[in-house]
Amino acid sequence: MKAFLMFIALLLGAGMYAQTNERAITAKFFQLFEQDPAQAVDYVYGLNKWIDLKSDAVLNVKGKLNQYRELLGAYQGHEFIAESRLGECFSVYVFLAKYDRQPLRFTFEFYKPKNEWIVYSFQFDDNFDDDMVEMMKLDYLTTKKKE
């Protein structure tokens, strides 16, 4: 009986990380992020067998997220901003995480080598406002040329 229960627990645990699409992965990430950002980072990087969760790079990401959390105040939720695709196997999703002081941009790059999506790259930054200004300038110039 113990062996059977252990088998069921393993199946349920494995299912936690098997997500079918990018939206499900990001939804789970932000659900975990609200409670424990480090656990959310482990989850998202844990989807890629090529990433060592104990590496300095992953530990650095967790440390930076904690620093931002201290600087920006309480987490107030997130908003989906954009999606872009290259064929059927690569996509990028961008979100804004809202904090008391200012938002952070979260960028998820996904790759689907076979049947499962993996996180190819995950990053966050607070410099998105510069990008926004550049996009507005480009949009303005494009609109001016049409007139």
Query: Is residue 11 pLDDT above 90, yes or no?
Result: no
Cα–Cα distance, 130 to 61 (Å, whole number): 22
Of 89, 95, 86, the residue nearest 122 (C-alpha): 95
- Cβ atoms of residues 105 and 128 within 8 Å: yes
* pTM score, whole prediction: 0.76
CA-CA distances (angstroms) from residue 30 to 11, 69, 119, 127?
23, 14, 14, 20
What pLDDT is attached to residue 111?
94
Residues 6+ apart with CB under 8 A from 46: 17, 53
Q: What is the pLDDT of residues 26-55, one digit of tens each?
A: 999 999 999 999 999 999 888 888 877 777
Q: What is the pLDDT of residues 94-119, one digit of tens each?
A: 999 999 999 999 999 999 998 889 99
CATH of region 17-146, choose from 1.10.10, 3.10.450, 1.10.1200, 3.10.180: 3.10.450
- Cβ atoms of residues 95 and 79 within 8 Å: yes
Query: Is residue 13 pLDDT above 60, yes or no?
Result: no
Query: Is residue 129 pLDDT above 90, yes or no?
Result: no
